[in-house]
Structures are given as structure tokens and as C-alpha cells.
Structure 1
Amino acid sequence: MKKLISACNLTKYYKDCCVVNAINFEIEEGETIALIGSNGAGKTTTIGMLLGIIAQDDGTINYWTPNYKKEIGTQLQSTPFFEGFSVEDNVKLFAAFYNVVLSNKMMEEKLASFDLLHVKKMPAIKLSLGQQKRLAIVVTTLHNPKLVILDEPSAGLDLRGQKEIQNMMKGLKEKGVAVLFASHDMAEVSNVADRIIMMNKGKVVACGAHHDLLAQYQAQNVEDLFLKLTK
């Protein structure tokens, strides 16, 4: 598979505190990777460096294209929808940001595929949390990115909402899109991820397919693995 991102000795300090400590990892085309770790492990900072919105203090990030920012879709923990604008108006605005020409038919097909067509006239900020999460993924993927980065995409959702987000991530993989997602939901990680990158105190403490990691560390499941490696 084609290598999209290669991070080497990636490091970030905040004052005298090393929050990301010389980590190494790769992201390949079409794979789904879970980035997991305790709060403060360095996950969000790592995502920020990958997106180019946080400057690393040391190390390198090699991308598959010089125009990588146009080829990556991003959903951070909250997506700032435009107040007073409907669902479809928000989609039109984000499409304009990406220079994507979106016909009414394409708009309706996109919203229907994420079960949002029936609320297209509703103000986006009035949607339920699950609907807002789905809308965030809609606008994240309008420009058909090669890589989608999601920061805790199912946080705060009920079981049905979590399943919907997991199915959307699986759908992206089926289309050949690489997905990197941060999560605290170990069941989600087991259900969706091809590989796991586990961070603890700024370092990568494990990386690989979860079945291989379970065998390597003699863990019963991903939750047990997490507890063993993040003491």
C-alpha cells in the first residue's frame, strides 16, 4: 500500500514539559488506525502536528504530496457550524471553502447517505449530538480526501450513535480512504481499527494490529492491553 505519512522522532514541548517524545509511526493508504492513550498522553498534540496547525520542536513529517492539507479531511472534537444556517447551508459553505462544486442532487445524496436529508432545513446547531457528529463527517469528506483524521468522533454518543459513527468509518475504508481516529472507546477500537498506536506520557508504547498486540502482551482484550501499558 502507498505510504501517506511517515513521522520520525516527532517531538513537542510546552515550556519545559515534553508532551510528545520522539515518536515514530506511519499511515498507509486505505487503513484505519486508532490513536489511543490516557488523557494527556499527547494524542491531540500529535494530531495537531500532523495537520500542520501545531509546529513540532523536533523530528520530521513526510507527506505523500506537497498539497497534503487539501487531501486531508479533519473532524476535531467540536466542529463550529455557522449559527443561524441550516444543515444544507452549512454544507454549501464548507463546499465553497474546499472549492467543491456541489449540485442539489449531490447535496441530497450526500445528506441521505448520512441519514440527514430529513433535517436539511433545520439549523445545524439545533441538531442532536449524533446528527452533528454525522454532519461533521459530511463536511469533512466533501472534497474526497485521501486521509481523514477524527478526534474522538463518537464521544458523548449513545450506543446507536456510536455504531453509526463506526459504520461510517468502515464505509470510508471501503472507499479506500485512510482513517486515523483518537478514541477512549476500546470496543470501538476493536471493531474498527486495522492497527493501534498506543501513547502513554508522550511516547508510543505499542503499535500494531490489535490481535498481534494482545498476543504479544498476553492481554485478554484491548481494554486489558490499555490498562497494562498505561500504568
Structure 2
Amino acid sequence: MRENLLIEAKGLKKTYGQKKVVDGVNLDIREGEVLAIIGPNGAGKSTTLDLVLGLCRPDAGAVAYWTSEPSRHIGLQLQSTPFFPGFTAIENLRMFAAFYGRRPKDAELFGHLSRCGLADSARLDALRLSGGQQKRLAIAMALVHDPKLLFLDEPTAALDPRARREIRELIRSLADSGASIVFTSHDMEEVHKLAGRLALISQGRVRASGTPDELLARYGADNLEELYIQLT
């Protein structure tokens, strides 16, 4: 692997039944970058990420990691996080820390919650938090073991404008602190604002990869939405 790479995937393929869901994907994730994975529903994005994260095995191809224990150094925020019923925000955070063999003190847990704008919600039932607060809690849970690489799956989906802005500001803050971030989104304005680089996946293949400005110039598009429509 090249020195600045965290993950390098080559020739990934995955077939379910007769359908080629992932068909020869090459993808690299670099240290210190914000990478957006975009593409239509059913294009193979989720399966590609499952392969990259080691959640399923490829039929062909390989994934190389910068560490021998990638799962201990990767944080993952899912679209729907399974909070523990009846547990407060800080209790959920403590439980997730335990999954990684950590026993942080309350001060450290409050630090994670504060970083995600949830200091005043620490003692509230997690399932009674607003949609935006639950997204921020999910990100806090993904950060609780201090991962080197963070995956965010549509972190602003189905949120109101204020909550979307808060999540975007949080992502910028994490990036400014040196975190390596991969996120998926259908919001092209969001992608242009947050991503240093993007990879567009369609029909199981990476159709384009580069910085937003590079791709706009390469394909003669005025904006990412136009580029998206052009390539998909």
C-alpha cells in the first residue's frame, strides 16, 4: 500500500443470484481526507462499503488495510442506530465503549457528547431524542473508541434544515481535527461543501473519482447534480 492510504480495495466483485451487485470496484481511502461515496439507490454503494468494511466477503478482489485490526480503529454510524431501550444517551455511549474493551470515565463520555452538541442531553432517554440529536448521538457512539477512520452512512438523511446544518458543522469540525471520514449522501450540495474527493458508483462500478472541481471540469458540468445525472 502507498504510504498515505488507510484502505485500498482492488477488483472487488460480489454477485447475489444472477445480479452483479459489485463489478470490479477499485477504491482507496486516504489518511486525513473527507471522501464522499455517491450514486443511485441499488448502484452497489452499500455492498461496496460492506466489502470494504469486512462485513461480507468478496467473490473476487481484495482489500488491504493500514492495520492488522481495522475493526478496532474504524467508527461506523449507520442510518438507523440500535439504541438500547430505556438507556440514556450517556449510558448508550458507555455500552458502545464497552464493546471495544473501554471503560471511559463520565468526564470522557461527556466530552464526546459535548463535541457532538449533546452535553445537555446526556441524561435523556436516547429513544426520546429528536432525529437530529439521535444522529449526533450515533456519531458520538462511532467516535467513542477514538477511531482513525470514520464511516457515516447518509448522516443528514430525513433531517430538517437546522439539524442538517448542525450535522454538517460537526463533520467539518471532525475533519478539521484531522479525522479521516467517508460518508454517503444523495445531497449534491452537501457533497460539494464537505468532500475533498468523491467516488461515484453506478451499476456496480466506480464511474468517476476525483475532487468535485476536477470532475466538474472533466465532464463539463456546472454543478454536481448535473454531473450526477450525466453519469448515472
Asked if TM exceeds 0.5, the reply is yes
**1:68 and 2:60 equivalent?**
no
Q: Which amino acid aligns with 2:98?
A: A
- Contact 2:151/2:183, CA 8 A, preserved across alignment: yes
**1:17 and 2:28 equivalent?**
no
Please report the TM-score for the alignment, with normalisation by the length of structure 1: 0.97
Shift of 1:95: 1.1
Shift of 1:154: 0.7
Distance in 2 (CA, whole Å) between partners of 1:8 and 1:79 is: 30
Which residue of 183, 186, 203 corresponds with 2:185? Answer: 183
Shift of 1:215: 0.3
Which residue of 23, 45, 48 corresponds with 1:46? Answer: 48
Distance in 1 (CA, whole Å) between partners of 2:54 and 2:27 is: 16
Please report the TM-score for the alignment, with normalisation by the length of structure 2: 0.96
Q: Which amino acid aligns with 1:221?
A: N
How many percent of aligned residue pairs carry the same amino acid? 43
Shift of 1:100: 2.2
Runs of 4+ in 1 over 3 A off after TM superposition: none
Q: Which residue of 1 aligns with 2:206?
A: 204
1:39-98 Cα shifts (integer Å, max 9, x gaps):
101111111111111111110101001101101000111110000111111111111112
Distance in 1 (CA, whole Å) between partners of 2:207 and 2:12 is: 14
Shift of 1:175: 2.1
Distance in 2 (CA, whole Å) between partners of 1:171 and 1:145 is: 15
- Cα root mean square deviation, aligned: 1.0
1:16-41 Cα shifts (integer Å, max 9, x gaps):
10011101111110100000000101
Distance in 2 (CA, whole Å) between partners of 1:79 and 1:94 is: 11
Q: Secondary structure at the match of 2:85?
A: coil
Q: Which amino acid aligns with 1:161?
A: A
Range with greater deviation from structure 2 (109-118 or 175-184):
109-118
Distance in 1 (CA, whole Å) between partners of 2:120 and 2:216 is: 43
**1:162 and 2:164 equivalent?**
yes
Q: Which residue of 2 aligns with 1:29?
A: 31
Distance in 2 (CA, whole Å) between partners of 1:63 and 1:120 is: 35
Q: Secondary structure at the match of 1:157?
A: coil
**1:228 and 2:230 equivalent?**
yes
